[in-house]
Amino acid sequence: MQPEDNKTELYSKLLKGSLQNDRECQFKLYNLLSSKMYAVCLRYVKDREMAEDLLQEGFVKVFSNLEKYRGDGSFEGWVRKIFVNTAIEYYRKSTRMYPIVNLDHAVNDDNVIAFVDDLEVEDLMKMIHKLSPGYRTVFNLYVIEGYSHKEIAELLNITEGTSKSQLARARYLLQDMIVEIEKGDKKNEAIAK
């Protein structure tokens, strides 16, 4: 039996128990998914406490809606979508986005994340957390979650143009951060010689 089959079987067993209000199954399901879903929450908010709040809110929604999971696709993917939507709901309630970049100067979509190839994931996440909530949310939805600008516009109640400009600005700011890091590295190399 393949590891993925084992995972699917485990989720199936825990889902059945959770639907019957078996607290042990619910606790195991929570433990299996909580670290991954916490990481999703952290991508959308800067504050660890807020991420913990989103985590709890997301799991309340997961357990309240378990009967709606039809088995189409992975259970983990279904849960992840609930968490992304929970983060988006929080974002919508707390922020208003406006277009700020002329799209003539936007970064070409063909170069989505080419500038981050040599970065460590942890370093990139730190840079993403330095972005404003609007830039960070659009960047996460487009680059990490794979949503289209049309989908992002619908999710955040903004125009596609605003989504594109927010992404372009996020990329520009990330590129500036990378250039600053590279300047620092070159300066340190020169000092070391």
Instruction: Yes or no: say if 43 and 144 are a contact pair by the CB < 8 Å rule.
Output: yes
pLDDT, one tens digit per residue, over 75-126 is 999 999 999 999 888 887 776 544 444 444 444 444 434 444 445 667 778 8
Taking domain 103-192, whether its CATH number is 1.10.10.10 is answered by yes
Kindly tell me if the per-residue pLDDT of 185 is higher than 70.
Answer: no
Taking domain 3-94, whether its CATH number is 1.10.1740.10 is answered by yes
* Pair of tokens at residue 53: 């709040």
Instruction: Yes or no: say if 9 and 2 are a contact pair by the CB < 8 Å rule.
Output: no
pLDDT, one tens digit per residue, over 23-34 is 999 999 999 999
Kindly tell me if the per-residue pLDDT of 5 is higher than 80.
Answer: no
pLDDT recorded at residue 114: 44
What angle in degrees, to the nearest 10, is found between the helix axes of 23-44 and 3-19?
A: 110
Distance, in Å, from the CA atom of 183 to the CA atom of 14, rounded to the nearest integer, reads 51
In the chain, ranges of CATH 1.10.1740.10 domains: 3-94
- Per-residue confidence at 8, pLDDT binned at 50, 70, 90? confident
Distance, in Å, from the CA atom of 186 to the CA atom of 182, rounded to the nearest integer, reads 6
